[in-house]
């Protein structure tokens, strides 16, 4: 074993319980930064290349649009829906 009983290298206090900056605080700081720079971005948008505009839209969209998750649909008995094939037999070959 790497540690012996009563070894002085063991951190008995463990990892600190609180984080210095929470995710919520980081999100608020990022939101404030975007809000403060919105006018600057809009004024300089014409100076960007099409590639840069698309990249900017892609980055900002991940923070604005909701994240999509895949879902499965089930009937009343929790069995997957059965696929129904619809055909149109009204048209005949002339």
- Count CA within 13 A, CB hemisphere, residue 75: 6
Tens digits of per-residue pLDDT, 23-79?
788 888 888 888 888 888 888 888 989 999 899 888 888 877 788 777 776 666 666
Tens digits of per-residue pLDDT, 72-89?
766 666 666 677 788 877
- CA-based torsion, 45, 66, 35, 23: positive or negative: negative
The pTM assigned to this predicted structure is 0.37
Angle at 37 between CA 31 and CA 41, to 5 degrees: 120
- Those residues with Cβ within 8 angstroms of residue 81's Cβ, 6 or more apart along the chain or in another chain: 73, 74, 75
């Amino acid at each position: 074993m790497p540690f012996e009983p009563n070894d002085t290298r063991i951190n008995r206090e463990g990892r600190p319980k609180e984080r210095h900056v929470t995710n919520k605080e980081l999100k608020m700081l990022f939101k404030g930064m975007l809000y403060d720079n919105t006018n600057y971005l809009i004024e300089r948008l014409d100076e960007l290349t099409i590639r840069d505009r698309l990249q900017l839209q892609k980055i900002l969209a991940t923070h604005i649009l909701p994240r999509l998750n895949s879902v499965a649909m089930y009937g009343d008995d929790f069995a997957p829906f059965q696929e129904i094939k619809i055909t149109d037999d009204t048209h005949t070959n002339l």
